[in-house]
Amino acid sequence: KTLSGQFRIGGMTCAACVNSVEGILRKLPGVEGAVVALATSLGEVKYDPSVINKDEIVSAIEDAGFEAAFLE
């Protein structure tokens, strides 16, 4: 089963940042899709909660030097 979560992301200032964040997310085990929008600073990730959770997704983004928080 796949869940979908929206998150707000900080620290992205150019289009290459978007590619970087999407690339990080798409490589994570359990992540099945990720899109990030520079204009709105919002992203959406589809993930398998039996493999990865939101805290781990946030940590991966923050390890790359960005800030992230799920909306809920």
| Binding stretches for ligand 9UX (CB under 6 A) | 13-14, 16-17, 20
Question: Least CB distance from residue 61 to ligand 9UX, whole Å?
Answer: 11
Residues whose CB is less than 8 angstroms from the CB of residue 35 and which lie 6 or more positions away in sequence, other chains included: 22, 43, 44
Nearer to ligand 9UX, 1 or 14 (CB): 14
Nearer to ligand 9UX, 12 or 31 (CB): 12
Nearer to ligand 9UX, 11 or 30 (CB): 11
Residues whose CB is less than 8 angstroms from the CB of residue 31 and which lie 6 or more positions away in sequence, other chains included: 25, 45, 46, 47, 52, 57
What letter does residue 13 receive in the DSSP assignment? -
